[in-house]
Amino acid sequence: MARRIAAGAAYGGGSIGLLGAAAVGVLLAEVQLAKRQVGGGAAPVPPSADGRYGVAFAGPADPLRFGLLGDSTAAGQGVRRAGQTPGALLASGLAAVSERPVDLRNVAQPGARSDDLERQVSLLLADPARVPDVCVIMIGANDVTHRMPATQSVRCLTTAVRRLRTAGAEVVVGTCPDLGTIEPVYQPLRWMARRVSRQLAAAQTIGSVEQGGRTVSLGDLLGPEFEANPRELFGPDNYHPSAEGYATAAMALLPTLCAVLGLWPETDRLDGARREDMLPVAKAASQAAKEAGTEVTGARAPWALLKHRRRRRLPAPTEPHPHPEMHGETGGSTRVERRPGTGTGTGTDTGTDTSPRHA
């Protein structure tokens, strides 16, 4: 199914239905019930985390330019401090590993679907002199809840990845989270949401890898902890991640983000003990969708590497430092307007090693 969706996106196919009409009706009714139980999907407007991180590493090398695109999870909806957002966590981690300052620009929009990526990419590429070195895209949950055709969703994402790669930016995509991990979601919505989310995540992986990007499965990233301790890993609305939840997701993304920038040595050697393998891209995508934190990167077409990188502990959360290059000569903060919207929480499988070592 993921291959059919990706093929439809690439070759202009029509919508490929994932659920029958009756099932969709049940799904939508359950979604509305779930939203009422999480306070109408309301959450604090995410704080702006744009700015420079790792100022202590200032030196002759130019700062790394880091762009973040996507929906409410990329924006950091559900937390109140800039340093708790995934953008700030990843920028701080990149600065610590590279020992260079990192300039973060976050253009993510709460409530965004994949068709908003065209606007977000245009914002990031508006200044040819400030093209990001690397971008992270976190998108897909609202595509599912708003019934966007899967082929359209993947087409919008692959176009965004292609535009960024053509401009010279490396791209890491955090694929659609598992909507079945949200606490107020009951059966049969939980089963259907998990199935649709995984199908979309696998199709996103195929499309992104074929455009030269890498993907990390967010899946049920918070799943085991959520079952045991949902109040800790989800925010006040029980729908968006808490600070601890965002840190868990960022810890899964950071190793791939560092690898794509060459911040530590890459190797094609596969570790069988960690269930790493080289598979046809569609099979790798399907496998990754089932196990959160799994990286898929293109190898020799049509093959892809399936990796489970060791997670790196994040540095202590820091707040951004404004600077003239990003905020203009007046020193005032340039903030991307973010309208409150309905994104989703993500989830994680912490069976992966969380030691400071890396692969």
**What are the catalytic residues?**
72, 237, 240
Number of H helices, E strands in the chain: 13, 9
Q: Within 13 Å, how many C-alpha atoms sit on residue 235's CB side?
A: 30
Element (H, E) at 195: helix 189-210
At which residue do the structure tokens 């085991």 appear? 224
Q: Which of these, 182, 152, 196, lies nearest to 43 by C-alpha position?
A: 182
Phi, psi at 52, each rounded to 5°: -105, 135
Q: Are 279 and 297 in contact (CB under 8 A)?
A: no
Report which DSSP code applies to 135: E
Question: Is 48 buried (19+), middle (13-18) or exposed (0-12) by CB count in 10 A?
Answer: buried
User: How far is 189 from 27, CA to CA, in rounded Å?
Assistant: 5
- Cα dihedral 285, 290, 292, 298, rounded to 10, equals -10
Distance CA 110, CA 112 (A): 5
For residue 321, the SS3 value is strand
Q: Which residues pair with 104 in a beta bridge?
A: 51, 66
